[in-house]
């Protein structure tokens, strides 16, 4: 299917603001994978944002899972979405995986059960809200939202639609971290005297250089709800991760 070609930032923002607070909530068809799917049925997945995390980490796992079929990939960067499509098709040995520039086209597909959202942070909450409204089950990368207001909207819509939702905080979900928590909570290491937390440095104001646009990147759509600024390759780096093909 062809990616939608036109994206008007002004109409997008107006639409988003209108849609989110006044959302008409759909009742999710998903009552849980275990209840919803017959044993021989696959869970059809659409990937939204196939950069370092999705291409290098989620996708290789998902395409090996027998109960899952990745049926579509979406990225505002043509190079990335084509690389992801190739990876899916090469693994499945067919040409079935569809490509999209606009994630709404993934959400509009009735055959897609769940989405993996691994866009940059500033898109997360809006895509989650739209995906929940479309009745899709969701895995979304961390950090889930930019602020508490967005977090409340996300929590409300997930609750109201009943979709299955997980945020990708590996440090909470992965086995080794859960095991460590269990050891602590069950007193295996005795009384905790001190907890040291590392959260990184404070954010900096935008001092990135303006650069020539990369071919094939829909920058307006990459920015989406973020403040308008010129392209900078530091915000959307290609080829910096060894999981990627040479771009
Ligand atoms: N890289 C990591 O190690 C890591 C670890 C944990 C969490 N995360 C989180 O995962 C998310 C993705 O990180 P990444 O390192 O893969 O970033 P990335 O920039 O490599 O990938 C993001 C991808 O999303 C695409 N994109 C942007 N807007 C889009 C839109 N509207 N629709 C579809 N695609 C869109 C970009 O073109 C890019 O390919 C971030 O929120 C990050 O915080 C990353």
What is the spatial distance between Cα 70 and Cα 203, in angstroms, rounded to a whole number? 35
The number of C-alpha atoms within 13 Å of 70 and in the hemisphere containing its C-beta is 31
Evaluate: CB of 123 within 6 angstroms of ligand 1: yes
Kindly report the pTM of this predicted structure: 0.83
* Sheet (strand 114-117) strand order: 98-100, 68-74, 43-48, 114-117, 137-141, 165-168
What is the spatial distance between Cα 135 and Cα 60, in angstroms, rounded to a whole number? 25
Enter the CATH code of domain 18-173. Answer: 3.40.50.720
Evaluate: CB of 128 within 6 angstroms of ligand 1: no
What is the spatial distance between Cα 189 and Cα 172, in angstroms, rounded to a whole number? 19
Ligand 1 atom at minimum distance from 103 CA: 32
What is the spatial distance between Cα 215 and Cα 70, in angstroms, rounded to a whole number? 26
**In this structure, which residue's CA is closest to atom 38 in ligand 1?**
51
- What's the pLDDT at 168? 87
Ligand 1 atom at minimum distance from 51 CA: 21
- What's the pLDDT at 203? 81
- Kind and range of the H or E element at 168? strand 165-168
- What's the pLDDT at 239? 65
Question: Is the bond leading into 143 cis (omega within 30 degrees of zero)?
Answer: yes
Domain ranges across the chain: 18-173
Evaluate: CB of 135 within 6 angstroms of ligand 1: no
Residues of the chain with pLDDT under 50: 1-35, 242
CB-CB contact of 161 with 137 (8 Å): no
Ligand 1 atom at minimum distance from 121 CA: 41
pLDDT tens per residue, range 76-124: 999 999 999 999 999 999 999 999 999 999 999 999 999 999 999 999 9
């Amino acid at each position: 299917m062809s990616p939608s070609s036109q994206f008007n930032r002004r109409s997008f923002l107006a639409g988003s603001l209108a849609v989110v607070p006044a959302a008409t909530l759909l009742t999710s068809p998903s009552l849980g994978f275990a209840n919803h799917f017959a044993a021989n049925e696959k869970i059809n997945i659409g990937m939204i944002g196939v950069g370092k995390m999705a291409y290098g980490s989620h996708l290789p796992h998902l395409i090996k899972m027998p109960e899952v079929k990745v049926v579509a990939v979406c990225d505002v960067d043509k190079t990335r979405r084509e690389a992801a499509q190739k990876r899916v098709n090469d693994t499945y040995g067919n040409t079935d995986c569809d490509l999209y520039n606009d994630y709404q086209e993934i959400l509009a597909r009735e055959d897609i059960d769940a989405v993996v959202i691994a866009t940059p942070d500033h898109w997360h909450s809006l895509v989650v809200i739209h995906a929940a409204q479309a009745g899709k089950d969701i895995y979304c990368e961390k950090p889930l939202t930019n602020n508490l207001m967005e977090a409340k909207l996300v929590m409300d819509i997930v609750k109201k639609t009943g979709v299955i939702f997980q945020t990708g905080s590996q440090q909470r979900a992965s086995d080794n971290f859960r095991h460590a928590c269990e050891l602590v909570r069950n007193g295996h290491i005795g009384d905790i005297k001190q907890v040291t937390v590392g959260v990184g440095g404070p954010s900096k104001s935008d001092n990135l250089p303006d650069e020539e646009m990369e071919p094939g990147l829909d920058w307006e759509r990459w920015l989406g709800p973020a403040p308008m600024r010129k392209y900078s390759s530091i915000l959307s780096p290609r080829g910096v991760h060894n999981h990627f093909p040479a771009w």
